[in-house]
Each structure stands twice: as C-alpha cells, then as structure tokens.
C-alpha cells in the first residue's frame, strides 16, 4: 500500500469514526429522561473530563511519558489570571507568552 | 444560539492558533489536502493530532485510526450527558452531536445534567472557520512559522480547559472540586501507561463520586 493511499484511509477513517462517535449518545438516548442516579453522575462529567484534559495536555511528552516543561509555567500563569478574575483571552495570551518566553531563555 | 456564538469566540481564536500548528505538523505527513480534509470534515483536534503523530512515526493506517478513536472516545459520555437535552428526529439529534467540542459542551452545561444544545451549536460555530482557516495557514505558510512549540502554542488548549474549569465548573461546589481532583489524578496516573486518549476517558470514572451527593430517598423513589 502506498503512503498516499494509507493517508487517504486514515483521513476517511478519522472522518467517519468521529461522526459516528459524536452521534452515538444523542441518537441512542435523545430527549429521554435519565434516572436520577445517571444524572448525578453525568452532571459531574465536565469537571472530571476537563481536569483530566488539563493534566494530559500539560504534562504529556513524547510517546506517553510525563514531561514537566514550559507548558506548565504557561498554564499556571493563565490560571493565575483567571483566579484574579481576568478575562479568558488575556489569560491565553499569558499562557502562550510565558511558555514561549521560557523556551527562548 | 447567538449568546453561544459570542461565548465561543475566545476558544475559536485559540483553536485557530492551534490549527495553524496542526497545519504545520500535518502537511509533511499527509499533504495539505489531507490535513485540510481532516480539519474540514472531522473537526476533531486531539484526534487529528494523534492520528498525525502515529503516521509521522511510521505507524499503520489502522493504528492511526485506532488512536483517533481513543482520543475521540470521551465524546461518548459527553454525548450521553447531552442526550436528554436533545429532542427531535434521529438525524437532527445526530446533527447536534456533530457540534460537540470540549469547550462548547462544557459551556453549554446548565447544572443538574441539563444542557443547552442551541447554545452549544452557537459556541461551536466560530471555531469551525478558525479551525479550517488556521489549518490552511499552517499548510501554506508552514515554512514561515517554523516550530509551533517555540511560540507556546501547545500551552493554549490546557490553559483554556483550565479556564473553563476554574471559571465555571468548579463554582458548583465542593463535590465538583473533588471530582476534578480525582479526574486529574486519574489522567495523570494513566498518561505514562495507557495509549493517548485512554487516560481522559478513564477519568470519567471520577464522575461516579456524584452518586455520593444523591439523596437516598430520591434514588429509591425514582431511580
């Protein structure tokens, strides 16, 4: 198989699987009321997933290693801005600036 | 939906910058057409980066798609969470599901398991042109841009997710803090030992702590 057709397969595979995965929840359950137990868990999904995403994206290195690098500094800096009630865009700018600046040093 | 669109703009700008780095990284691996097709029709950041990384390191097409599925897997519980708030024929519900991206989903949460699907769609709308446009810039201007990491672009997404967490989700009380703490711990603990994508979906388990908040009488009567 040539590299080109492998790439084509990946692109198509990605497009199709993404659409199916995104549709699965709403199609299977749409509009129906879930039992209270399910709702209690589901209302906590966002904090769980967001926290895990922050950790994974901040500390993931090459392959699967955990890496402490300049990203952590940038993320910490943006967190400080948010905690001081600053708006999101400046916080993101701080994240980029601190990370890039620390790498430049 | 307009309120959602306004709320979605900051993330859209961040996504645009990240898309530029995707374009720069993906173009040598799959060509500009492949990169643009991924961004335009899959519109899934972490899955796109993951699949590209597998291809770049010589992995097979199957391995790349599996990586993408794992990285997209969190959309299953997210979709299940969204589902009770989405009404209408199956095709319409599937369409709402396509508008799910992490930030829009989190911002559309209204507490108690309720979501505002139209707000979510609105919040996603600005991201789409920024994502595709950013990819195009990365594909065509890659040589000018150089190394995305040097610009600190890789700190953008974690910073934004943390902003969502601190600004919104954690305001709902101590339980949310406990769940976030556990989710972070699971994510961190599993990253070195599990394939990319698995740590995040495994962290969904932290949401089970929510059961501790249930009033036992309620659960008996209606569960």
Q: Is the confidence at residue B35, as pLDDT, over 50?
A: yes
Please report the number of interchain residue pairs, chain A to chain B, with beta-carbon separation below 8 angstroms. 343
CA distance B108 to chain A (A): 10
CA distance B171 to chain A (A): 10
Chain A residues whose beta carbon lies within 8 Å of the beta carbon of residue B219: 36-37
pLDDT higher than 60, residue A83: yes
Q: What is the pLDDT of residue B157?
A: 79
Q: Please list every residue in chain B whose beta carbon sits closer than 8 Å to the beta carbon of residue A71.
A: 154-155, 158
Range in A76-80, A98-102, B44-48, B52-56 the model is least confident about: B52-56
**ipTM entry:** 0.82
Contact criterion met (CB below 8 Å) for B115 and B109: yes
pLDDT at B5: 93
Task: Calculate mean pLDDT across residues A2-23.
Answer: 90
* Interatomic CA distance for residues B75 and B85, integer angstroms: 15
Q: What is the pLDDT of residue B132?
A: 97
B108: nearest CA partner in chain A: A46
Q: For residue A41, which of B199, B69, B204 has the smallest C-alpha distance?
A: B204
| DSSP code of residue B115 | E
pTM listed for this prediction: 0.79
Residues 103-122 of B with CB under 8 A from A: 105-106, 109, 111-113
Among chain A residues, the shortest Cα distance to B67 is held by: A14
Q: Give the mean pLDDT of chain A.
A: 86
User: How far apart (Å, rounded) are the C-alpha atoms in residues B196 and A25?
Assistant: 22
Residue contact B79–A21, C-beta within 8 A? yes
**pLDDT at residue number B136:** 95
Contact between B156 and A92 (Cβ < 8 Å): yes
């Amino acid at each position: 198989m040539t590299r080109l057709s492998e790439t084509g397969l990946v692109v198509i595979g990605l497009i199709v699987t993404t659409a199916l995965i995104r549709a699965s929840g709403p199609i299977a359950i749409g509009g129906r009321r879930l039992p209270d137990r399910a709702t209690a868990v589901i209302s906590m999904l966002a904090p769980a997933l967001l926290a895990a995403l922050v950790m994974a994206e901040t500390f993931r290195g090459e392959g699967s290693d955990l890496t402490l690098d300049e990203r952590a500094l940038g993320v910490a800096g943006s967190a400080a801005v948010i905690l001081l009630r600053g708006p999101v865009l400046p916080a993101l700018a701080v994240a980029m600036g601190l990370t890039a600046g620390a790498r430049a040093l | 939906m307009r309120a959602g669109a306004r709320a979605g703009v900051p993330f859209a700008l961040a996504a645009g910058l990240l898309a530029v780095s995707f374009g720069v990284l993906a173009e040598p691996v799959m060509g500009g057409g492949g990169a643009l097709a991924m961004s335009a029709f899959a519109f899934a950041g972490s899955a796109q980066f993951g699949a590209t990384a597998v291809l770049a390191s010589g992995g097979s097409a199957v391995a790349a798609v599996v990586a993408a599925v794992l990285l997209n897997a969190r959309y299953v519980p997210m979709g299940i969470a969204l589902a009770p708030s989405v009404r209408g024929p199956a095709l319409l519900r599937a369409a709402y599901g396509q508008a799910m991206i992490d930030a829009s989903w989190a911002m559309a949460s209204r507490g108690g398991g309720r979501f505002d699907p139209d707000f979510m769609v609105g919040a996603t709308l600005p991201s789409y042109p920024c994502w595709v446009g950013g990819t195009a810039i990365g594909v065509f201007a890659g040589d000018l841009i150089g190394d995305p990491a040097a610009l600190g672009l890789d700190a953008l997404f974690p910073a934004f997710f943390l902003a969502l967490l601190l600004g919104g989700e954690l305001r709902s009380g101590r339980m949310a803090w406990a769940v976030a703490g556990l989710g972070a711990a699971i994510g961190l603990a599993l990253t070195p030992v599990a394939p990319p994508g698995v740590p995040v979906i495994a962290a969904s388990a932290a949401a089970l702590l929510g059961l501790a908040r249930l009033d036992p009488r309620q659960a008996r009567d209606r569960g």
